[in-house]
């Protein structure tokens, strides 16, 4: 049974993404994206950052509270973990391009606190045109998916993170290394040290792939 009304239009950022390989132009256009409802009640779009000639592209989930306020990727607690892991893996962060699968901060407000909410499949897919544009612009040799949302966005399907570490995936002709999101280290108790070591190992493996 239907009520005769048209099916809802799928959410998508596609109409907001300009046809350009210029990262500054893409970043500027993303500020006015209304491809899904996540722009509501946020400070700004948080677009990817880094060099267009980066051999490695790191993709996280979405901006957090501090990223939303400051307008930069990975500047909060998870970012501290990420940058320590990058350094421990012997990677120069100036050689990276770093972005998120979803460009706005999904959250719920409790009192004065804004608590992270995981983006759903519709929101991940809606934001995917921005990732596609970044992949075209950066042309990285290897891509690192940090966590389940990034893997879902890049691979187009959900994969278990622990079991996908070290597996072969590819997107846009580049290998995709799947690892934990650094925020998982912050949430883990006894497993935190092990998880952090796993991220460092996976970043090191990605760096070796990028050099081939
Ligand atoms: S989350 Fe992505 S698709 Fe949704 S409004 Fe923000 S930039 Fe656009």
Give the residue, out of 38, 59, 105, 122, with the most ligand 1 atoms within 8 A of its beta carbon, to mutate for a pocket test: 38
In a domain? residue 12: no
Q: What is the pLDDT of residue 189?
A: 87
Q: What is the pLDDT of residues 54-98, one digit of tens each?
A: 999 999 999 999 999 999 999 999 999 999 999 999 999 999 999
Q: What is the pLDDT of residues 105-145, one digit of tens each?
A: 999 999 989 999 999 999 999 999 999 999 999 999 999 99
Nearest CA among 106, 122, 88, 101 for reference residue 39: 106
> What's the CATH code of the domain at 95?
3.40.470.10
Nearest CA among 12, 54, 15, 61 for reference residue 36: 12
User: What residues contact residue 166 under an 8 Å CB cut-off, 6+ apart?
Assistant: 202, 205
The tokens of 109 are what? 């407000």
CA-proximal residue: ligand 1, atom 7 (nearest): 103
Q: What are the backbone dihedrals phi and psi of residue 107, each rounded to the nearest 5 degrees, phi first?
A: -155, 170
CB 105 within 8 A of CB 65: yes
For 92-194, strand residue ranges (E) read 96-100, 107-110, 113-116, 142-146, 169-171, 174-179
Q: What is the pLDDT of residue 170?
A: 96
Ligand 1 centre distance from Cα of residue 176 (Å): 23
pLDDT over 80 at 102, yes or no: yes
In a domain? residue 153: yes
In a domain? residue 14: no
In a domain? residue 9: no
**DSSP label at 167?**
-
In a domain? residue 5: no
Q: Is 102 in the pocket of ligand 1 (CB under 6 A)?
A: yes
Per 3-state DSSP, the chain is made up of helix, strand and coil in percentages (nearest 5) of 45, 15, 40
Residue 58 bridge partners (DSSP):
98, 144
Phi-psi region of 118 (alpha: psi -120 to 50; beta: other; left: phi over 0): beta
pLDDT over 80 at 176, yes or no: yes
In a domain? residue 3: no
Return d(Cα 55, Cα 139) in angstroms, integer: 8
In a domain? residue 127: yes
The tokens of 168 are what? 């072969």
Q: Is 30 in the pocket of ligand 1 (CB under 6 A)?
A: yes
Q: Is 198 exposed, middle or buried (0-12, 13-18, 19+ CB in 10 A)?
A: buried
pLDDT over 50 at 12, yes or no: yes
The tokens of 60 are what? 């996280």
How many structural domains compose the chain? 1
Report in angstroms the alpha-carbon separations of 49 from 19, 134, 199: 19, 10, 20
pLDDT over 90 at 43, yes or no: yes
In a domain? residue 2: no
Q: Which domain holds residue 92?
A: 20-211
């Amino acid at each position: 049974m239907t009520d005769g009304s048209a099916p809802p239009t799928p959410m998508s950022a596609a109409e907001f993404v300009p046809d350009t390989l210029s990262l500054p132009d893409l970043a500027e256009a993303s500020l006015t994206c209304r491809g899904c409802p996540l722009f509501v009640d946020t400070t700004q779009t948080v677009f990817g950052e880094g060099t267009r000639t980066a051999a490695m592209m790191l993709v996280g989930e979405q901006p957090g509270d501090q990223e939303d306020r400051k307008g930069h990727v990975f500047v909060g607690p998870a970012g501290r973990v990420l940058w320590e892991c990058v350094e421990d893996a012997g990677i120069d962060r100036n050689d990276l391009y770093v972005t998120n699968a979803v460009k706005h901060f999904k959250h719920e407000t409790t009192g004065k606190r804004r608590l992270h909410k995981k983006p759903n499949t519709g929101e991940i897919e809606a934001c995917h045109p921005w990732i596609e544009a970044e992949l075209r612009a950066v042309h990285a040799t290897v891509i690192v998916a940090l966590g389940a949302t990034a893997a879902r966005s890049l691979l187009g399907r959900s994969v278990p993170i622990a079991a996908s570490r070290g597996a072969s995936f590819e997107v846009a002709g580049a290998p995709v290394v799947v690892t934990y999101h650094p925020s998982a280290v912050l949430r883990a108790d006894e497993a935190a040290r092990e998880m952090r070591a796993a991220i460092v190992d996976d970043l090191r493996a990605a760096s070796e792939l990028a050099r081939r």
